């Protein structure tokens, strides 16, 4: 229950911030262009807070926190007095109207730069992309990638950490090869060509790294428990943090990975552990719980191990001075923008399945997880969603900012506005398309947690 409330709260905060940023862009440029803004609302439905400023703009917080809007004076929907017609949106030059509409997405991109700039100033702890295991006969193995190698670049993009590696790998979906630069354990730099002509990557089932047959290096897991989840089978059986697991049903436990595999294969079964606690050995009976996954039912115990310490130099902190932090933030924002556009294109061409669309439930889960890790991780999440919000709003679909810009561009080129009838049909078609994609995204969210 706490996890749900935490994710919901983080989602509301994230959505509120991003909607406020987006709508502020429209509001600010409208004011600069002399348009009378009637209402600036965060949320829909019944207002629970409102205030009117000296310019006559009503600022509102409404009950349903799923969006927002800026309502401008417009003769197409309002009865406008003669002395206010010069302040109506529809009476402004087409260039100004285009600027007002474009300002929302543009401010989303600027917000992403600011969020990443702050993140770079504060510092983010991360891990170098050093390869652990390479799966035999996999794409990685066939390309000659070695365990212990440091991935320094994917294509022409440098990769300082695993997040960068994942982003760049995903950008190659649909292509026949991936060029990778790796530094071997003895310091030699090698250029590798990953053959992805038969790359079957399904983000729903595995990561890009797993699908290519490489695993990030992780310190070895010990058999000492670091976490025993509340109300889990382990907690109910009496296992405690600090317990050392010695055997399972009389068989010595050789490794944590072996234990996980065994537990996963025995859902619902009763087992007996021999543990060492404070220098004393004892036996503990437990019943393995069942957990449903896309691959079927697996066993679940509810414990996590302690790990060996990271080797020196593997973990580092992304932290920069003001100038470099700004440059890095702008570069990362641009990369997120180009990758978002690329993914939309791959959805259209079929290289990326519609099953990979995510909706509000997935976003809420992401918000909760990132907020749980701390402010800098939450800022990174906000930057990612802000960029996606900006890109989606620029799609040339009526009802979105991009649809309005499309109509205004036609007006600018032809010298006359698009007819009301054409715009009305466009809004209807755009609404159907948006509802279809929203339905698919929500269905995908529900299927992931079902």
Bridge partner list, 330: none
* Marked catalytic residue, from 23, 38, 206, 324: 23
The whole-angstrom separation of Cα 297 and Cα 288 is: 12
Q: Which CATH superfamily is domain 124-219+309-318 in?
A: PDZ domain (2.30.42.10)
Q: What pLDDT does 15 receive?
A: 78
Give 127's contacts (C-beta < 8 A, 6+ positions apart).
Answer: 161, 162, 216, 310, 314, 315, 316
- Name the 3-class secondary structure at 246: strand
Q: What pLDDT does 367 receive?
A: 45
Domains 124-219+309-318 and 221-307 share a fold: yes
Q: What pLDDT does 340 receive?
A: 85
Tokens of 268: 């619902």
The distance in angstroms from the start CA to the end CA of the chain is: 17
Half-sphere exposure at residue 19, Cβ-oriented, CA atoms within 13 angstroms: 21
Known catalytic residue at 324: no
Q: How many residues make up the chain in this entry?
A: 450
Q: What pLDDT does 364 receive?
A: 46
The whole-angstrom separation of Cα 381 and Cα 374 is: 11
CATH code of the domain occupying 221-307: 2.30.42.10
Q: What pLDDT does 115 receive?
A: 92
Pairing label, strands 315-318, 37-52: unpaired
| Domain residue spans of the chain | 2-33+92-123+381-449, 124-219+309-318, 221-307
* Chain center to CA of 236: 35
Phi and psi angles of residue 190, each rounded to the nearest 5 degrees, phi first: -130, 140
Q: What pLDDT does 329 receive?
A: 93
Q: What pLDDT does 22 receive?
A: 92
- Work out the burial of residue 281: count CB atoms within 10 Å of its CB; fewer than 13 is exposed, 13-18 middle, 19 or more buried: exposed
- Work out the burial of residue 413: count CB atoms within 10 Å of its CB; fewer than 13 is exposed, 13-18 middle, 19 or more buried: exposed
The whole-angstrom separation of Cα 43 and Cα 114 is: 24
Q: What pLDDT does 7 receive?
A: 64
Phi and psi angles of residue 253, each rounded to the nearest 5 degrees, phi first: -90, 115
**Along the chain (450 residues), what's the average pLDDT of each consecutive run of 10 residues?**
62 81 93 92 86 90 83 84 85 92 94 93 88 90 91 90 86 87 88 87 75 89 89 89 90 89 88 89 89 74 90 87 93 89 76 55 47 68 87 84 89 85 76 68 54
């Amino acid at each position: 229950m706490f996890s749900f409330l935490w994710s919901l709260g983080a989602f509301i905060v994230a959505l509120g911030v991003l909607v406020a940023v987006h709508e502020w862009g429209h509001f600010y440029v409208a004011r600069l262009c002399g348009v009378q803004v009637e209402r600036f609302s965060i949320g829909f439905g019944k207002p629970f807070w409102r205030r009117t400023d000296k310019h006559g703009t009503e600022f509102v917080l409404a009950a349903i926190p799923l969006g927002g809007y800026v309502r401008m004076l417009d003769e197409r929907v309002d009865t406008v007095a003669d002395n206010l017609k010069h302040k109506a949106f529809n009476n402004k030059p087409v260039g100004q109207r285009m600027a007002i509409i474009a300002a929302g997405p543009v401010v989303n991109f600027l917000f992403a730069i600011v969020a990443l700039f702050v993140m770079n100033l504060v510092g983010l702890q991360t891990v170098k992309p050093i390869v652990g295991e390479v799966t035999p006969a996999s794409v990685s193995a066939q390309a000659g990638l070695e365990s212990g190698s440091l991935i320094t670049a994917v294509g022409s993009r440098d990769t300082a950490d695993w997040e960068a590696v994942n982003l760049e790998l995903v950008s190659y979906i649909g292509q026949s090869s991936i060029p990778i630069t790796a530094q071997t354990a003895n310091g030699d730099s090698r250029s590798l060509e990953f053959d992805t002509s038969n790359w079957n990557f399904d983000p729903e089932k595995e990561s890009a790294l797993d699908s290519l047959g490489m695993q990030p290096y992780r310190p070895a897991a010990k058999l000492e428990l670091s976490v025993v989840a509340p109300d889990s089978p382990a907690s109910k059986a009496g296992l405690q943090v600090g317990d050392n697991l010695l055997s399972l049903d009389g068989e010595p436990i050789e490794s944590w990975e072996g234990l996980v595999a065994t537990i996963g294969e025995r859902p619902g079964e009763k087992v007996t552990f021999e543990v060492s606690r404070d220098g004393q050995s004892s036996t503990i009976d437990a019943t393995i719980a069942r957990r449903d996954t896309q691959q079927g039912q697996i066993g679940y115990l509810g414990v996590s191990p302690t790990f060996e310490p990271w080797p020196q130099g593997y973990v580092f902190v992304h932290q920069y001075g003001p100038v470099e932090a700004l440059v890095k933030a702008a570069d990362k924002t641009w990369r997120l923008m180009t990758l978002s556009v690329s993914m939309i294109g791959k959805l259209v061409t079929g290289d990326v399945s519609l099953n990979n669309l995510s909706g509000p439930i997935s976003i809420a889960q992401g918000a909760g997880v990132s907020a749980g890790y701390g402010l800098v991780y939450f800022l990174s999440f906000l930057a990612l969603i802000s960029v996606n919000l900006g890109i989606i709003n620029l799609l040339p679909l009526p009802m979105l900012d991009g649809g309005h810009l499309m109509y205004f561009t036609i007006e600018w080129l032809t010298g006359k506005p698009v007819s009301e009838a054409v715009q009305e049909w466009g809004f209807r078609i755009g609404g159907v398309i948006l509802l279809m994609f929203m339905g698919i995204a929500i269905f995908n969210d529900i299927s992931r947690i079902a």
